Structure 1
Amino acid sequence: MSISGRIGLGQARGGDTDVVLGEDWTGAESTVHDDLSMGRAQRGVVSLNRSPLARKIITFNLMAMVMMVAGVLYLNPFRDSLVYQRESAIVNEAGLIADVFEARMPKEAPVNLAAGDGIDLADTLAGIKLPEGTQLYLFDTRGNLLISSDSAPTASRGTVEGLEPNKRTTLITDLLNRGWDWLTGLMRPTQSANQSFDIEKMLGALVPKVEPGKTQISTSRDPAGSTIFSVATGLYQNDRMVGLLAITSAAGEIDELVRVEREQVLQMFVVAIIVSIGLSLVLASTIANPLADLAAAAEIGSDRGARKMSPARVRIPDLTARPDELGRLSAALRGMVAALYDRIDANEQFAADVAHEIKNPLASLRSAVASLHMVKRDDQRTKLLDVIDHDVRRLDRLVSDISNASRLDSELVKEEEQSFDLMKMVGSVGKHLGEQAAEKGIDFIIDLPRDPIVISGLEGRLAQVFVNLIGNAISFCEDGDAVRIWARRRDNRVLVVVEDTGPGIPDEALTKVFKRFYSQRPVGQFGDHSGLGLAISKQIVEAHGGVIWAENIRPTDADITSEPLGARFVVGLPL
């Protein structure tokens, strides 16, 4: 895992805020760029021609609904149910009519339907009330037509109260049917408009299939596409089939019921489409518009960076009150932009500080070189050469430290964290620098826990921090002083402390020691330090999610004006 995730991004989310969605959010005037405001005003709630995401949302929502309705219409479950019920009804109706004819036949005398012996077909047929549109046909056992409801009119069946046909409009279904008929008409040969449908011919093919004790049923369509149900059954006298009876339903009665059912489905579909489009537009406005604002803000920044149009800073819309991914994205972008501007400001300040720090030794060098041409005495020339040498070494040290500091950010991002024993690393650094302290007559004390304390981070960079802190402590101490390094574990953090008995830190410098190029050194050490060590240490510690501070060691906490007994630097790192 890289340490880059901890660098430069602050908490962009606010505290207690109200939840806002889509265009309910309006940014403060100071945070919304004029170009962004103009684009939002031109776009409106949602603009389909400018928002591919909005078009996709609406299209996918409609595709799912169209497929569902198309599946319902294609499978036609209500039509299958209606067809089954109508077939069952017409079979029962044929059986009842056959029972009427059989009841009029004599029990013992022979019956010949073709000759009219035993039963008067016309008189019996006239007494039967058939539904409107239903036709009845009687055949002999050879399949010859004897009589039909066309040649011998039957009594009309009256309308039963409560069963009147419900004449409902089927505008949508009729429109779709006309469109379908037009399309299919382009692919099939045209039929004559006066082409008739021969029901007798259809029954002539159905009647021979009737066997004793069985009933035959068929479904066909007339030239207009209307469905007609046909049923053929036998007429029996004493279990002997003496004739055949066939009835046909009214053309298109089942189609009318199906159209009504389809119309209801399509009406619900139209309402669902309107609701779906409305909800899709609302959803698109809550997703596409904020994303468009974020993209527009980023594009404004890109264009401004390319053309250097305006010095004003790019403002990312604040959508952090949204409890969704767009809120997270807005917070991340705002944090990223803030971090980039902070980095730009820091680089500008760093460049200014570098220029200022380099000018001092360069001015000293220029003065020394100019004086070198004028002096005549050897001791003065030697003194000027010493100054030049000191300034050259100071410049070399300064450039090296500046180079290290400028590369630190990118190196912290690239390097990978690893787990290591912090106490072992601090102990190794202390052991190495303890020899330097011993050469100056400084007591060097290491008080570290024996148990390992494992943390995750960049071991080499943290080692650089403690080298800086311990080296600074040694540099401020004289013969007889002491430097102490100790560590303690506190809950989920570990504290590593570097103390010395040197002169301490001036109170006004406690808040400045971690600034770049700030150096509070004795006169004899002028120019030996660039003032970047503590600034680099602070940057490394904070990149690890830790803290570092400096304080003076006083004889008593009650008297803060007492002379300090030394300085203390504390590094706190998370476990």
Structure 2
Amino acid sequence: MTIAGHMEAGGARVRRPAKSETDVVLGEDWESPQGAVDADLVRGRAKRGFISLNHSPLARKIITFNLLAMVVMVAGVLYLNPFRDSLVFQRESAIVSEAELVADVFEARMPAAAPVNLAAGDGIDVAEAMRGIELPEGATIFVFDAAGNLLADSDAVGSAPRQRVEGLGIDARSTMITDLLNRAWEWAASLLHRESDGSPQLDTRRIAEGLVTQVEKGKTVMTTSRNPAGATIFSVATGLYHNGTRVGTVAMTSAAGEIDKLVRVEREQVLQMFVVAIIVSIGLSLVLASTIANPLSDLASAAEIGRDRHSHKLAPGRIRIPDLTARPDEIGRLSGALRGMVAALYDRIDANEQFAADVSHEIKNPLASLRSAVASLHVVKRDDQRTRLLEVIDHDVKRLDRLVSDISNASRLDSELVKEEEEESFDLLKMLGNLGQYLGEQAAENGVDFITDLPAEPIRITGLEQRLAQVFVNLITNAISFCEDGDAVRVWARKRENRVLVVVEDTGPGIPEEALTKVFKRFYSQRPEGQFGDHSGLGLAISKQIVEAHGGVIWAENIRPTDADITSEPLGARFVVGLPV
């Protein structure tokens, strides 16, 4: 039993040499044999080009989803606006400090001993003091008396010119994208909300007057508002105190929109990076789409070409699936699986055609015998000859009936194996013991000794118990049929590491050497003359099919007194079934 060493529990997949598992396959970076691609598919590739979005829903989805992720991220950054919040806080802190410094300037110019009345001009000239203060560009100072009446503002009175600071300037970079988006937003907002012409115009003086009423002793009030143009204005109001008594209020407002310019510059940088990222994302998405969508389109097109040809009976030919197995990814696996499936389909078609031819050949033999016997029946006159012809007709009819039944069972076997219920675990030795009790009686009737040699410990395997029982019934009955009175049939089993071997031996005439590789073929039968026509030659073929469906192997060999002399007369035949445990 030297063949046992070559049996494995499962088949090994042969993989063609491929690229490294870490390689990145881009576009159509795969090799396909020149003759392995249908001409229609080649023409379709030429028309498609690198990537065709209008013919590839998958490519459109890849690009759309990548862009959506980028848009959501940038929209979230702009919506949360962290840089604006930081700039606003810094500007609010700065204008509060500036307003308190201006208040300190006014308080420092008030006389310590004399009374101060800002409304009457006693103790301090508000306008003169205001003209000596340097203000940031666009900022305005308002001075109110204790009653809240406006005494002076820097726009009317004027202020000291601000000294130019080298190296300090406003960022004047272009904000084209931001300005365009702002105009689009303003246009959309104008369609949804229109301001009435009579709405009050918000100006810095009104803002300052509103803050003065909120100032309490020892506190500073600050607010942020927007003018009708949408520009941000920061306003601060703080009290003027003389010897602990509040004598007035100073309010300061920033230039309108100064913080908005900085925010637009920051947003412009984000949007510029977004535009660059969009371009890069589209490019990479196109490459990714061509890597995925184009090969899948080729696989689908190849299948559709084969389907359309065979459905319309136009130029029928074999379906040629592109060979993408060099790709170290799922598409390579899909291509290999489709090619294997198509190859298995054509193998099955070829097998069916061969089976049909074999069936036709096998049926013709008994039919020819029947036709000859029936024709002879009309001309013979002797009763013994007529009886002999009727026996021939009866034998051929039984042979045809047996042949048709076996052919029907063989043709249904594939579909029945697929449709059978799920495999279950069962005790193989218990099944063999039951078969031995039943078939031992049949052997005894023929004068054949039936011997079983099974281990004491149970051997459990997973499979279809009834189908495997059919295999061993075929092997045992086949062995009994070749034995004569006084011969013996032995069934024994042994468990190895990952398999179990079940052996059926007999002391019959053995198997001719040239027939050892043919006994499992359909309709092949090597029988003694007395058994001609009693067997269809399908039993061993069916047994092999069932065993291989369970992931096992089956083979036949002769029992010889010594393996060294293959020319010695065989002592019998041996059939070995190997099944995975």
TM-score tier (shorter): over 0.9
Quote the Cα distance in structure 2 between the aligned partners of 1:434 and 1:487.
17
Q: Does 1:155 align with 2:172?
A: no
Q: Report the AA paired with residue 157 of structure 2.
A: A
Q: How many residues align?
A: 567
Which of 91, 95, 112 matches 2:96? 91
Quote the Cα distance in structure 2 between the aligned partners of 1:82 and 1:264.
16
Quote the Cα distance in structure 1 between the aligned partners of 2:311 and 2:215.
90
Which of 564, 567, 570 matches 2:573? 567
Q: Does 1:112 align with 2:117?
A: yes
**TM-superposed deviation, 1:382:** 1.2
Q: Does 1:168 align with 2:194?
A: no
Q: Does 1:285 align with 2:290?
A: yes
Q: State the TM-score, normalizing by the size of structure 1.
A: 0.95
Q: Does 1:49 align with 2:49?
A: no
Q: Which moved more, 1:90-99 or 1:297-306?
A: 297-306
Contact 2:26 2:288 in 1 (8 A): no
Contact 1:550 1:567 in 2 (8 A): yes
Q: Which moved more, 1:539-548 or 1:458-467?
A: 458-467
Q: What is residue 527 of structure 1 aligned with on the other side? A: 533
Quote the Cα distance in structure 1 between the aligned partners of 2:577 and 2:12.
23
Q: Report the AA paired with residue 52 of structure 1.
A: P
**TM-superposed deviation, 1:188:** 2.7
Quote the Cα distance in structure 1 between the aligned partners of 2:481 and 2:551.
28
Q: What is residue 560 of structure 2 aligned with on the other side? A: 554
Q: Does 1:428 align with 2:429?
A: no
Which of 356, 361, 370 matches 2:361? 356
Contact 2:41 2:302 in 1 (8 A): yes
Q: Report the AA paired with residue 458 of structure 2.
A: P
Quote the Cα distance in structure 2 between the aligned partners of 1:424 and 1:195.
101
Q: What is residue 542 of structure 2 aligned with on the other side? A: 536
Quote the Cα distance in structure 1 between the aligned partners of 2:320 and 2:12.
16
Q: What is residue 132 of structure 2 aligned with on the other side? A: 127
Q: Which moved more, 1:127-136 or 1:207-216?
A: 207-216
Contact 1:195 1:223 in 2 (8 A): no
Q: Report the AA paired with residue 503 of structure 1.
A: P
Contact 1:12 1:331 in 2 (8 A): no
**TM-superposed deviation, 1:329:** 2.5
Matches within 5 A, 1:377-526: 377-416=382-421, 417-526=423-532
Q: What is residue 15 of structure 2 aligned with on the other side? A: 14
Q: What is residue 36 of structure 2 aligned with on the other side? A: 31
Q: Report the AA paired with residue 492 of structure 2.
A: W
Which of 333, 350, 372 matches 1:367? 372
Quote the Cα distance in structure 2 between the aligned partners of 1:262 and 1:130.
28
Percent identity of the aligned residues?
Answer: 76
Quote the Cα distance in structure 2 between the aligned partners of 1:554 and 1:431.
28
**TM-superposed deviation, 1:223:** 2.4
Q: State the TM-score, normalizing by the size of structure 2.
A: 0.94
Contact 1:11 1:335 in 2 (8 A): no
Quote the Cα distance in structure 2 between the aligned partners of 1:465 and 1:198.
101
Which of 343, 346, 354 matches 2:348? 343
Quote the Cα distance in structure 2 between the aligned partners of 1:402 and 1:196.
100
Contact 1:21 1:322 in 2 (8 A): no
Q: Does 1:219 align with 2:224?
A: yes
Quote the Cα distance in structure 1 between the aligned partners of 2:204 and 2:311.
83
**TM-superposed deviation, 1:526:** 0.8
Quote the Cα distance in structure 2 between the aligned partners of 1:514 and 1:71.
71
Question: Secondary structure of 1:84's match?
Answer: helix
Q: Which moved more, 1:48-57 or 1:564-573?
A: 48-57
Q: Deviations over 1:363-396 (max 9, x none)?
A: 1110111111111111111111111111111101
Contact 2:135 2:162 in 1 (8 A): yes
Q: What is residue 7 of structure 2 aligned with on the other side? A: none
Q: What is residue 185 of structure 1 aligned with on the other side? A: 190
**TM-superposed deviation, 1:37:** 2.0
Quote the Cα distance in structure 2 between the aligned partners of 1:195 and 1:414.
84
Quote the Cα distance in structure 2 between the aligned partners of 1:454 and 1:305.
46
Q: Report the AA paired with residue 245 of structure 2.
A: R
**TM-superposed deviation, 1:194:** 13
Quote the Cα distance in structure 2 between the aligned partners of 1:506 and 1:104.
131
Question: Secondary structure of 2:577's match?
Answer: strand
Q: What is residue 5 of structure 1 aligned with on the other side? A: none
Contact 1:12 1:332 in 2 (8 A): no
Q: Deviations over 1:478-509 (max 9, x none)?
A: 11221111111111100001111111111111
Quote the Cα distance in structure 2 between the aligned partners of 1:555 and 1:101.
129
Q: Which moved more, 1:455-464 or 1:161-170?
A: 161-170
Quote the Cα distance in structure 1 between the aligned partners of 2:343 and 2:200.
82
Which of 206, 211, 218 matches 1:206? 211
Quote the Cα distance in structure 2 between the aligned partners of 1:554 and 1:309.
58
**TM-superposed deviation, 1:191:** 6.9
Q: Deviations over 1:285-339 (max 9, x none)?
A: 2222222122112212221221122332112223333343333322322222222
Q: Deviations over 1:195-247 (max 9, x none)?
A: 96532233222212222211122222222211111111111111111111111
Instruction: Give me the CA root mean square deviation.
Output: 1.9
Question: Secondary structure of 1:24's match?
Answer: coil
Q: Which moved more, 1:311-320 or 1:53-62?
A: 311-320
Contact 1:503 1:567 in 2 (8 A): yes
**TM-superposed deviation, 1:10:** 7.8
**TM-superposed deviation, 1:559:** 0.9
Contact 1:130 1:154 in 2 (8 A): yes
**TM-superposed deviation, 1:13:** 5.4
Q: What is residue 330 of structure 2 aligned with on the other side? A: 325
Quote the Cα distance in structure 2 between the aligned partners of 1:151 and 1:460.
109
Question: Secondary structure of 1:347's match?
Answer: helix
Q: Report the AA paired with residue 455 of structure 1.
A: I
Quote the Cα distance in structure 2 between the aligned partners of 1:228 and 1:569.
99
Structure 1 344/10 Cα, relative in aligned 2: closer, same or farther at 3 Å?
A: farther
Quote the Cα distance in structure 1 between the aligned partners of 2:432 and 2:399.
29
Q: Report the AA paired with residue 83 of structure 1.
A: V
Q: Which moved more, 1:195-204 or 1:490-499?
A: 195-204
Quote the Cα distance in structure 2 between the aligned partners of 1:340 and 1:180.
61
Q: Which moved more, 1:309-318 or 1:163-172?
A: 309-318
Structure 1 200/40 Cα, relative in aligned 2: closer, same or farther at 3 Å?
A: same
Q: Report the AA paired with residue 438 of structure 1.
A: A
Question: Secondary structure of 2:252's match?
Answer: strand
**TM-superposed deviation, 1:189:** 2.6
In the TM superposition, structure 1's runs of 4+ consecutive aligned residues that sit over 6 Å from their partners are 9-12, 191-196
Q: Which moved more, 1:344-353 or 1:110-119?
A: 110-119
Q: Report the AA paired with residue 327 of structure 1.
A: G
Q: What is residue 3 of structure 1 aligned with on the other side? A: none
Quote the Cα distance in structure 2 between the aligned partners of 1:10 and 1:214.
87
Q: Which moved more, 1:299-308 or 1:498-507?
A: 299-308
Q: Report the AA paired with residue 16 of structure 1.
A: P
Quote the Cα distance in structure 2 between the aligned partners of 1:191 and 1:335.
75
Q: Which moved more, 1:406-415 or 1:150-159?
A: 150-159
Give structure 1 stretches of 5+ with no counterpart. Answer: 1-8
Q: Which moved more, 1:262-271 or 1:314-323?
A: 314-323
Quote the Cα distance in structure 2 between the aligned partners of 1:406 and 1:128.
108
Quote the Cα distance in structure 2 between the aligned partners of 1:190 and 1:43.
54
**TM-superposed deviation, 1:192:** 6.7
Contact 2:26 2:287 in 1 (8 A): no
Structure 1 68/499 Cα, relative in aligned 2: closer, same or farther at 3 Å?
A: same
Contact 1:13 1:320 in 2 (8 A): no
Contact 1:212 1:241 in 2 (8 A): yes
